[in-house]
Amino acid sequence: MHVCVCIPLCIHTCLCVCKCVCLYICVSVSTYISEALDVCLSVPPGSPIMDSQEDVVSEGNETELTCTAMGSKPAASIRWMKGEQELTGKMTVDETYDRMFTVTSRLRLTVSKEDDGAPVSCIIDHPAVKDLRAQRYLEVLYQPEVKIVQAFPEGLTREGENLELTCIANGKPQPHQISWLRVDDDVPSHTVITGSDLFIENLNKSYNGTYRCVASNAVGEAYDDYILFVYGTYCYTGRHDSRAGEGAPQKIDHAVIGGVVAVVMFAILCALIVLGRYFARHKGTYFTHEAKGADDAADADTAIINAEGGHNNTEEKKEYYI
């Protein structure tokens, strides 16, 4: 007859809650047979706790986020994501008095204005749980972005016309102050400034210069420049941006005038060459019709007689003097 006894044993390990061993002892004469059954239990962590060093951070500064997973066995691991980008944190593992594990991960992040509103998540990886995460959205403050728009006129700025500029400024927080100034000179006396708008009537060339819009908020200030160039009533009519610089139309006019003068001078030179060659080609000795055949005569009388037409012809050419 065999007698079997089961003695449960519990052995703690670093990977499981415990390892339960059931030891069966069967006695048969002098033979002992034992059989062990191992059972390993995984304990998932609680909901992750996510915290930040500060709720609001200014662009260019560094902030720290922490994520904690408590009460797990085995120890959990933590990953970080900012949008679709995976980030790397620094993880520490602590064992508690009841031989459970607490895992903490710290992420240090330098933020920019593009990070405003970006979601940051910590994701828990553990054998006993899936898709356990915590998330928060970054709030980033940044200085203004400034742009000057020419509301009127649409094209060139000419003498006698009016000019209207609008300063568009965005930031977080929204800019609380917008101001206009003229670089290296005073703003014309009759300029009207209303908040973000600047208006100048009856333009003239003395108003040429750089006009600047400055916007500021709690983070800092920024500006944009507009270069004003006032054209005469009659000027080059091509498309021109006032910001592009001064004097471009005058350079174009001088080039056109120089080209016309060069063409005229070339035409005159060609005409002089053609006339010179013509006169040189037709230069020589010309004989009258009556003198033909008189070259071989011995004397003057014979030359007259031998001339074409003879003596009779001379009678027809008589001249009478009164």
64-109 per-position pLDDT tens digit: 999 999 999 999 999 999 999 999 999 999 998 889 999 999 999 9
Fold of 49-141: Immunoglobulin-like (2.60.40)
What does the pLDDT look like over 282-301, one tens digit per residue?
665 444 444 555 555 555 56
User: Could you check whether 49-141 and 142-228 share the same CATH topology?
Assistant: yes
Residue-wise pLDDT tens digits, 29-51: 444 444 544 446 799 999 999 99
Model confidence band, residue 305 (pLDDT cutoffs 50, 70, 90): low
Domain spans, the chain? 49-141, 142-228
CATH architecture of 142-228: Sandwich (2.60)
Tens of pLDDT, residue by residue over 189-237, are 999 999 999 999 999 999 999 999 999 999 999 999 999 999 987 644 3
Residue 127: is the preceding peptide bond cis (ω within 30°)?
no
pTM: 0.59
The DSSP bridge partners found for residue 166 are 149, 197
Alpha helices in the chain (DSSP H): 248-281, 300-306, 310-316
Residue 312: pLDDT above 80? Answer: no
Query: Coil, strand or helix: which one is 198?
Result: strand
